[in-house]
Amino acid sequence: SDSDSDSTGGSEGVCGDGIVDPGEACDDGDLDDHDACLSTCEVAVCGDGVVQLGVEACDDGNAVDDDQCSSTCVRATCGDGIRNGDESGVDCGGKCSACALGEACDDGLDCVTGSCAAGLCVSARHCADVLELGVGDSDGVYVIDGDGPEGPQPPLEVYCEMSLEGGGWTAIYNRGDAVASFAEAAAFEASLATLADAEVVYPWSESQAVHSGGLDLSLYHEALFAWEPVDTLDPTRYAILGRDEGLAGLCVVDGPCPGATSLGVVDVFPSGDVVEVFTGDPQHWPQVGLGLGVGDQTIVWGYDRDGSATSNWANWYLEGPAGVAGNTPEIAAASWRYAIYIR
């Protein structure tokens, strides 16, 4: 009759009706994706891209371990023994603690040493190491650590001159925009007689002291005394003093010395002269800075209290009569600077 019905021909089951029909792995009667059964009637598993509340901390839809969510749906942490998230090494770098010497890094901020080269944390003792290890080869500020990451001295920032005489020079003094006055000469003398802790000394700094304090000067074997126009970053006139035993105890670089003390023999550029230089002695040799130990102690780098035919100031010009201070067109113009670098 019309009232008869096909007891086997009921309506087709749908996901979410609470009945597990053929083709469904589960059906919990709801369309909530965050429980054990998804709204597609599939069993929730780690890696399906849906976070199962109370079971999974995360689910990014993949089974890799090197991102913010692991293959077991646990959030990456700094102590999980896996290199993940923004870490550069295993549990270090990025938002985690800094990586140790020899561990992987993306940049110096990832490293305890402050220096990263070729993807590994390295320790640069000085600017020469910065260059040799591949940390950098451009003029600028770098982190050095003279006694290494295990030593008691903390790392510090210095300015490295990388464009001059093979690079790798650490700047420890710069006095710029000098004017030919007795007041400036007195300030220049006072700054050379003062030793202060190492710090960043830019080519435009106005040093009130020689900043070599705290550096292990036994690691340095060359000192460069430079003169140049104040708007020139790389020295144009300079002399280099080499010292096999290191620069510890060297006059000016490691503090003031008595008057008329020899620093040693220097190679002068660009003239090519090789001369012995001495500190000044107000009682006999009147210069501030460095001079030649001949005759009346001619000034070559610094200031001559007795003056000269052209200027009281000198810039390693030795071609004139007895190396008279300042007899060059450059020194007659305003705005120039004196600098000291060590390597």
Query: Over the chain, what is the mean pLDDT?
Result: 87
Whether the predicted pLDDT of 220 surpasses 90: yes
For residue 247, what pLDDT is reported?
A: 98
Region 146-150 average pLDDT: 86
The torsion defined by the Cα of 74, 79, 80 and 86, in degrees rounded to 10, comes to 70
Q: How far is it, in rounded angstroms, from Cα 178 to Cα 255?
A: 22
Nearest to 179 by CA among 326, 325, 313, 315: 313
For residue 335, what pLDDT is reported?
A: 84
For residue 328, what pLDDT is reported?
A: 79
Q: Is 151 helix (H, G, I), strand (E, B) or coil?
A: coil
Task: Summarize the chain as % helix, strand, coil (round to 5).
Answer: 10, 30, 65
The token pair at 52 is 């199962």
Count other C-beta atoms under 10 Å from residue 206's C-beta: 13
User: What residue ranges do the domains of the chain occupy?
Assistant: 132-342
Whether the predicted pLDDT of 64 surpasses 90: no
Region 61-72 average pLDDT: 87
For residue 92, what pLDDT is reported?
A: 86
pTM of the model: 0.74
The DSSP letter of residue 192 is H
